[in-house]
Amino acid sequence: MFQKILVANRGEIAVRIIRACKQLSIETVAIYSDVDQESLHVQLADEAVCIGPAASQESYLNKESIITAAINTGAEAIHPGFGFLSENADFSQLCHDCGIIFIGPSGDVIHKMGNKSHARKLMEEAGVPVVPGSDGAVASLKEAREIAGKIGYPVLIKASSGGGGRGMRVAYRANDFDQAFNTAKSEAKNAFGDSTMYLEKYMENPKHIEFQILADKYGAVIHLGERDCSIQRRNQKVIEEAPSLIDPKMREQMGKDAINAAKAVGYENAGTIEYIACDNAYYFIEMNTRIQVEHPVTEMITGVDIIQQQIHIASGEKLRYTQEEITFDGWSIECRINAEDPVHDFRPNPGMIDLLHVPSGFGIRFDSFIYSGYTVLPYYDSMMGKLIVHAPTRKEAIQKMRVSLDELIITGVKNNRHFLSKILTDIDYYNGNFDTSFITRKKEFLLE
Provide the domain count of the chain: 3
Same domain membership, residue 232 and residue 192: no
Domain harbouring 305, CATH code: 3.30.470.20
Does residue 68 surpass a pLDDT of 90?
yes
Average pLDDT over residues 308-312: 98
Catalytically annotated residue among 290, 336, 394, 417: 290
pLDDT digits (tens, 9 = 90+) for 115-161: 877 888 899 999 999 988 898 889 899 999 999 999 999 999 999 88
Percent over 90 (pLDDT), the chain:
91
Domain harbouring 177, CATH code: 3.30.1490.20
Same domain membership, residue 234 and residue 352: yes
pLDDT digits (tens, 9 = 90+) for 156-208: 999 988 766 788 999 999 999 999 999 999 998 888 888 999 999 998 899 99
- Average confidence score pLDDT of the chain: 96
Is the residue at 154 inside a domain? yes
Same domain membership, residue 327 and residue 293: yes
Same domain membership, residue 152 and residue 263: no
Whole-model pTM: value is: 0.92
Is the residue at 421 inside a domain? yes
Average pLDDT over residues 354-371: 98
In which band, very low, low, confident or very high, does the pLDDT at 362 lie, cut at 50, 70 and 90? very high
In which band, very low, low, confident or very high, does the pLDDT at 372 lie, cut at 50, 70 and 90? very high
Is the residue at 119 inside a domain? no
The reported pLDDT for the residue numbered 120 is 85
Average pLDDT over residues 2-25: 98
Same domain membership, residue 285 and residue 271: yes
pLDDT digits (tens, 9 = 90+) for 204-235: 899 999 999 999 999 999 999 999 999 999 88
Active site residue 320: no
Which domain range does residue 141 map to? 132-201
Same domain membership, residue 175 and residue 69: no
The reported pLDDT for the residue numbered 164 is 64
**Which residue, 162, 182, 201, sits at the end of a domain?**
201
Domain harbouring 98, CATH code: 3.40.50.20
At residue 236's C-alpha, the angle toward residues 440 and 175, to 5°, is 60
Distance CA 444, CA 448 (A): 7
The reported pLDDT for the residue numbered 279 is 85
